[in-house]
Chain A
Amino acid sequence: MRGAGHGALRVVRGDDDRPSLQIARDVALLHDSAGATLRLYGWRPTGLSIGRFQDAAAFAHVDRPHELVRRPTGGGAIWHEADLTYSLTMDDDASVPAEAYYDAIHDALVRALARCGVRAARTHAGGSHPGPRAIDATWCFARPCRGDIVAPDGRKLCGSAQRRLRVPRPRLLQHGSIVMRASCVTPFCASVADQTEPTAIRDALCDAIAQEFALALNTAPEPGALTAIELGRAQQLAASIAIPAFAE
């Protein structure tokens, strides 16, 4: 997998933060940065992110407190209560199909999970992706699709989605969430807590993900932070990403 060019993989381990700000940081890195950056972060307060084309009203029944945000990426809705989210932004190779990025990144995640004693695999038996109308009310974790990461019992443990730009230069954002502990809102998820104590392995899992992603990119991980320009841009974008409660 190319994407890091000749540079290292900048690894930014962020604190838990507002959902709209977390998505805005991913968007800022996609549009306004160069090179490859891996972010690892959590969500506080709890978030509900919906896919680019999903209808927010379809999730109006969720009555637990949360911030509702729209991702720039596709796929279904995700309840972010106790998950570890990764986001990889990097230069894109237009000739590489989306599935090839999912394969490479999900393989790296499976290896990272294994290093922390969590058994998982990419599923080859999952269903096809939901059709045009079906995505409106779909939870990302309700049903694995081909290539997703599943626990030994076949339930989905990690889901990912992408945004690809061609102009002004090809860039890719792939982000996804690993469920550390399932919530009663989405009880159908597998979780790391099914196999081990999530808080005990979180730091080690972040280290392992950074190392495995760097290996996949044929480069080295380099701890870093977002620049003041990137943080400022994200702050500007955050308001457009939050969805006022059921206003749509």
Chain B
Amino acid sequence: MRPNDRKYLKSHEWCKVEAGIATIGITDWAVSHLSDLVFLDLPAVGTKVKAGQPFGEVESVKAVSDIYSPVSGEVVETNAELPDALDTLGTDPWTAGWMIKVRVQNESADLMDAKTYEKHLESEA
């Protein structure tokens, strides 16, 4: 079971909102499907992100994929160490593998709880 203290997108990002700040990352399922990660591009602090739109990109085995934002708002912090420590995503995608923190204006209407996300994974299998 994935952590139930956060919400999920079908595109395999998670967000955990505390005091108006969303911490955002990608799920263990996404990481397991992105083998041999070589590059992660994250937005700068101050960037405005929009729910459902890409905020970053990741490259693995010469395949580039977008990372989508679960919320709209302004980036207030990025995990600056993560692009140089991509193994962290494999070992701890839920805490140390966070990517950005966003001051939330509004959340995506497509966010799911952990149980619904698990069912979505079953349907994709």
Contact = CB atoms under 8 A, between A and B. Distances in A.
Interface of A: 51-53, 72-75, 94-95, 97-99, 102, 128-132, 135, 145, 160-167
Contact of A94 (B39, B53, B61, B124): B124
A167 B68 CA distance: 8
- Which range contains the number of B residues in contact with the other chain? 20 to 34
B63 A164 contact: yes
A166 B39 contact: no
Interface of B: 10-12, 33-36, 38-39, 41, 52-54, 57, 59-66, 68, 83-84, 86, 124-125
Contact of B64 (A52, A97, A131): A52
Contact of A135 (B10, B33, B38, B65): B38
A178 B38 CA distance: 24
A97 B35 contact: yes
A162 B64 contact: yes
Contacts of A161: 62-64
A131 B61 contact: no
Nearest to B59: A74
Contacts of B66: 165-167
Contact of A53 (B41, B54, B86): B41
Nearest to A174: B63
A95 B124 contact: yes
